[in-house]
Chain A
Amino acid sequence: MNRLRPLILLLSWLLFITGTALPSKAAPPPSSRKIIVAAKPFTESYILSEMLAQIIDAEGEATAVRKFGLGGPTLVVDGLKAGELDLDVSYTGALSHLFLPQTPNPSRAELLTALRSHGLLLSESLGFNNTYAIAVRTAMAQTLRLANISDLIPHHTLRGAFTPDFLNYDDGFYKLQQVYGVALQSIKPMQHSLAYQALQSREIDLTDAYTTDGALPQFELTLLKDDRGFFPTYFAVILIRAEIAERFPKTWQALRKLEGQLSEAQMTAVNAQVDVHKREVSAVAREFLVQHKLIGNPRPPTRGAVLDEGLWIATAEHLYLVLSALLLSCLLGVPLGIVAVQFRRTGQVLIAVTSLLQTIPSLALLCFLIPIMGIGAMPTIFALFLYGLLPVAQSTTAGLLSLDSRLIETAKILGLTRLQRLRLIELPMASLYILSGIKTTAVINVATATIAALIGAGGYGRFITSGLAMNDVRVILKGAIPTALMAILFHALFEQLSRWLVPKGLQTEPARSP
């Protein structure tokens, strides 16, 4: 243990350094003049939320803090209710589904009442209806003569892939099947941008699309007409915490100037600027706002915009997540490994439980944690910590079991107590194993921490998420390359650390003849 202590100290120290380098992590206190703007991981959400953020900054009552790329509407609404987020652009159909699941086609008044009970307010529609649609390849639409959704009815061999949300909603695909009597050969859940690729490479035949999707022309897709009026309307609206609207009335006024400004064609064109022409979200948003005189002389964004966000902030965030989780994994994993050796039965149960934790998919685990811990760094660190527990505990157990039993016997006969043996003999002798377990955990953490972006904890994952959402490989690489580099760096660091921390006598050295 005396050999591991410097490692723990080093980790704590690094944690402190990265922690202080970070912009404030927790939800700001009510007195702070910050408005936290959320965005979900798709282009339109990034652009609209970026517009909101630029309007807030231009108004000057408060500064916008961007939490972009959050996992989904449910997550954002939970964040708003908990006061961890302040505003977002939402869609009436999605809100009806979340707040009035029992009411079919609720009126705006009904929706407002339901939202008010959660301390939330709604703007008027921004102008466009971004509802669901069914997209097929234009070529296929022509051969099979598909124009309306009902034209799909006679075709039973088509393969569909849909976004998970669309599969889960009551007004989603399963309901559509009932209403239209459409039968498909297969149905898979798939992310939007991936589904378009799959559609193009003929791996699937139809997917759900949004009516304002800027990528539609690029992929040569045709939207089938909802000839039975199945889809509810999804008018874009600003969803804000009432408290924020009251505290920053001028800002709320300014934000509401967006109402009615965007037609479907305009929104599709703006989306295409990013999706097809690969322009930066902040630039596209600024251009629209200036053109429509929603902001005055634009200040060039110094920090915080989606893509110009300094890599160093993401690095600090990523390191913070990785190191905090690693520290916790060490503090609990090593004792767990020791217990597993000393008390076989209990140990086996504990190891079995940690192995079980290992099998939970990271996103699912985060979803379990969000109701308890909210969004942001906390649940991510906790999830990473749980994933790191097994490698650390197992390597500790393996290290202790690998020891020469005759040496342990000698230590007993010399008169060392159990604890003294553990501290002076067993743990130092097992340190090579333990460190390699910690190294594995560190490398896994670096990779897994990229999902943190989905729940607002930032890190390199923000680039990967937004790159995926906007189908932009350059942005994905901006996150993926530093992630890989950091993993390699951690690997090298721990190689060096084991040279430093593992007792000299254990490092392979040829025996010297006298």
Chain B
Amino acid sequence: MIVLSHISKQYQALPILREVSLTLAAAQTHVLLGASGCGKTTLLRIMAGAMAPDSGQVTVDGVKVIAADPCPLAQIMGYMTQEGGLFPHLTAEQNVTLMAKVRGLPSAERKARLAELSSLVGIDERLLAHHPAQLSGGQRQRVALMRALFQQPKYLLLDEPMGALDPIMRRELQSTLKQVFEALRTTVILVTHDVGEAAFLGDTITLLHQGSILQHGSFLDLVQRPSDPHVTAFLQAQRPLPQLSELGS
């Protein structure tokens, strides 16, 4: 369980987060939803211990997170960013097994885990010999997901993992993620600005607006009992597909 209490953060005198308090239960998928600049990525990085808040505190499983270099929670957290954050000079496999190697996991175990994960995320194992530049955007994200999952993390932090993908790949990866989340029952915190993605993947959704939480609840809660007109406005902002009848002959 992750508990955030009264988290505030400024960047060059500009408030990014204001007094954010939030409790995220284990074994669920929590979506941090909001427009660009609402503070959702900053919040994710504070949870990971990559950045210290100006005030307030984070506890993970009851232990206070103290930001440090390298990240103190790296052992129990998997992390993945929009572009995947794969290192271009390493092959996909080297990217995936980087930390396991650094921590001295035997080669046989690494091989077994690679096979297991590549079938889980749906990537041909042969592709793992390639460098990131030789892979498609979707393949890169699957490799990044493998890297995030490799050490069986208790928490999975995903920062707009589908942000750079075209709609078809995005849809495929969303399905993959849903299967993975259900199979692993890991605690997932996923940052996105896509309402459909949030509704599809999230057990809970936290809608952020200008550094504050507008509403926290299930998608149904947000639709049926919006706490603020902004909530409804955000949920309906995505343009629906036009009806066939509207398109004329």
Give residues in A with beta carbon < 8 Å to B: 406-407, 409-418, 420-421, 424-425, 428-429, 431, 503-506, 509, 511-514
* Measured CA separation A198–B71 after assembly (Å): 70
Residues of A within 8 A of B134 (CB): 509, 511-512
Asked if B90 and A412 make an inter-chain contact with CB atoms under 8 angstroms apart, the answer reads no
Asked if A514 and B69 make an inter-chain contact with CB atoms under 8 angstroms apart, the answer reads no
- Does B75 lie at the interface of the complex (its beta carbon under 8 Å from any beta carbon of A)? yes
Asked if A413 and B88 make an inter-chain contact with CB atoms under 8 angstroms apart, the answer reads no
* Measured CA separation A410–B159 after assembly (Å): 11
From residue A475, how far is it (CB to closest CB) to chain B in Å?
48
**Closest 10 CB pairs between A and B?**
A415-B74, A505-B131, A503-B89, A410-B85, A514-B136, A505-B88, A413-B79, A428-B89, A415-B70, A505-B89
* Measured CA separation A254–B88 after assembly (Å): 72
Residues of B within 8 A of A509 (CB): 131, 133-134
* Measured CA separation A514–B69 after assembly (Å): 37
From residue A244, how far is it (CB to closest CB) to chain B in Å?
59
Asked if B89 and A506 make an inter-chain contact with CB atoms under 8 angstroms apart, the answer reads yes
Which chain B residues in 55-94 approach chain A with CB under 8 Å? 69-71, 74-75, 77, 79, 81, 83, 85, 87-91
* Measured CA separation A505–B136 after assembly (Å): 14
- Does B2 lie at the interface of the complex (its beta carbon under 8 Å from any beta carbon of A)? no
From residue A6, how far is it (CB to closest CB) to chain B in Å?
15
- Does B50 lie at the interface of the complex (its beta carbon under 8 Å from any beta carbon of A)? yes
Q: List 6 A-B contacts (CB under 8 A).
A: A411-B87, A416-B70, A428-B89, A505-B87, A509-B131, A511-B135
From residue B144, how far is it (CB to closest CB) to chain A in Å?
9
- Does B164 lie at the interface of the complex (its beta carbon under 8 Å from any beta carbon of A)? no
Give which listed residue, B70, B75, B98, B136, contacts A424 with CB less than 8 A.
Answer: B98
Interface size class of B (residues with CB under 8 A): 20 to 34
- Does B132 lie at the interface of the complex (its beta carbon under 8 Å from any beta carbon of A)? yes
Asked if B88 and A506 make an inter-chain contact with CB atoms under 8 angstroms apart, the answer reads yes
Residues of A within 8 A of B131 (CB): 503-505, 509
Asked if B88 and A410 make an inter-chain contact with CB atoms under 8 angstroms apart, the answer reads no
Which chain B residues in 112-146 approach chain A with CB under 8 Å? 130-136, 138-139
Asked if B74 and A413 make an inter-chain contact with CB atoms under 8 angstroms apart, the answer reads yes
Asked if A420 and B102 make an inter-chain contact with CB atoms under 8 angstroms apart, the answer reads yes
What's the dominant secondary structure at chain B's contact region?
loop
- Does B99 lie at the interface of the complex (its beta carbon under 8 Å from any beta carbon of A)? yes
Asked if B89 and A429 make an inter-chain contact with CB atoms under 8 angstroms apart, the answer reads yes
Known: A409-B50, A505-B131. A514 touches B139 (CB 8 A): yes
- Does B156 lie at the interface of the complex (its beta carbon under 8 Å from any beta carbon of A)? no
Known: A416-B102, A420-B102, A512-B134. A505 touches B74 (CB 8 A): no
Asked if B50 and A414 make an inter-chain contact with CB atoms under 8 angstroms apart, the answer reads no
From residue B159, how far is it (CB to closest CB) to chain A in Å?
10
* Measured CA separation A420–B103 after assembly (Å): 11
From residue B41, how far is it (CB to closest CB) to chain A in Å?
11
Q: Knowing that A509-B133, A509-B134 touch, tell me 19 more A-B residue pairs with CB under 8 angstroms.
A: A409-B50, A410-B79, A414-B71, A414-B99, A416-B98, A417-B70, A424-B98, A424-B102, A428-B89, A429-B89, A504-B89, A504-B131, A505-B87, A505-B90, A506-B88, A511-B135, A512-B130, A512-B136, A514-B139
- Does B158 lie at the interface of the complex (its beta carbon under 8 Å from any beta carbon of A)? no
Give which listed residue, A406, A409, A415, A503, contacts B99 with CB less than 8 A.
Answer: A415
From residue B85, how far is it (CB to closest CB) to chain A in Å?
4
From residue A25, how far is it (CB to closest CB) to chain B in Å?
40
- Does B7 lie at the interface of the complex (its beta carbon under 8 Å from any beta carbon of A)? no
Asked if A418 and B85 make an inter-chain contact with CB atoms under 8 angstroms apart, the answer reads no
Known: A407-B85, A417-B70, A418-B69. A503 touches B48 (CB 8 A): no
From residue A506, how far is it (CB to closest CB) to chain B in Å?
5
**B 182-223 to A, binary, CB cutoff 8 A, 1 in contact else 0:** 000000000000000000000000000000000000000000
From residue B131, how far is it (CB to closest CB) to chain A in Å?
3
Residues of A within 8 A of B87 (CB): 407, 411, 425, 429, 505
Residues of B within 8 A of A511 (CB): 133-136
* Measured CA separation A406–B139 after assembly (Å): 20
From residue A230, how far is it (CB to closest CB) to chain B in Å?
71
Which residue of the partner chain A has the closest CB to B49?
A413
Which residue of the partner chain A has the closest CB to B79?
A413
Asked if B133 and A412 make an inter-chain contact with CB atoms under 8 angstroms apart, the answer reads no
Residues of B within 8 A of A429 (CB): 87-89
Known: A425-B87, A429-B89, A503-B90. A414 touches B74 (CB 8 A): yes
Residues of B within 8 A of A416 (CB): 70, 98-99, 102
Which residue of the partner chain B has the closest CB to A514?
B136
Asked if B48 and A413 make an inter-chain contact with CB atoms under 8 angstroms apart, the answer reads yes
* Measured CA separation A424–B70 after assembly (Å): 14
Which residue of the partner chain B has the closest CB to A429?
B89
From residue A500, how far is it (CB to closest CB) to chain B in Å?
14
From residue B43, how far is it (CB to closest CB) to chain A in Å?
14
Residues of A within 8 A of B77 (CB): 413
* Measured CA separation A511–B91 after assembly (Å): 14
From residue B51, how far is it (CB to closest CB) to chain A in Å?
10
Which residue of the partner chain A has the closest CB to B124?
A514
Known: A409-B50, A429-B87, A506-B89. A414 touches B133 (CB 8 A): no
Give which listed residue, A412, A431, A504, A506, contacts B70 with CB less than 8 A.
Answer: A412
From residue A434, how far is it (CB to closest CB) to chain B in Å?
13
Asked if B133 and A415 make an inter-chain contact with CB atoms under 8 angstroms apart, the answer reads no
Between A414, A417, A431, the greatest number of chain B beta carbons within 10 A of the residue's beta carbon is seen for A414
* Measured CA separation A413–B133 after assembly (Å): 22
From residue A405, how far is it (CB to closest CB) to chain B in Å?
11
Give which listed residue, A412, A420, A505, A512, contacts B71 with CB less than 8 A.
Answer: A412
Residues of B within 8 A of A504 (CB): 89, 131
From residue A141, how far is it (CB to closest CB) to chain B in Å?
72
* Measured CA separation A412–B45 after assembly (Å): 11
Asked if A513 and B136 make an inter-chain contact with CB atoms under 8 angstroms apart, the answer reads yes
Residues of A within 8 A of B139 (CB): 514
Residues of A within 8 A of B136 (CB): 511-514
Asked if B102 and A413 make an inter-chain contact with CB atoms under 8 angstroms apart, the answer reads no
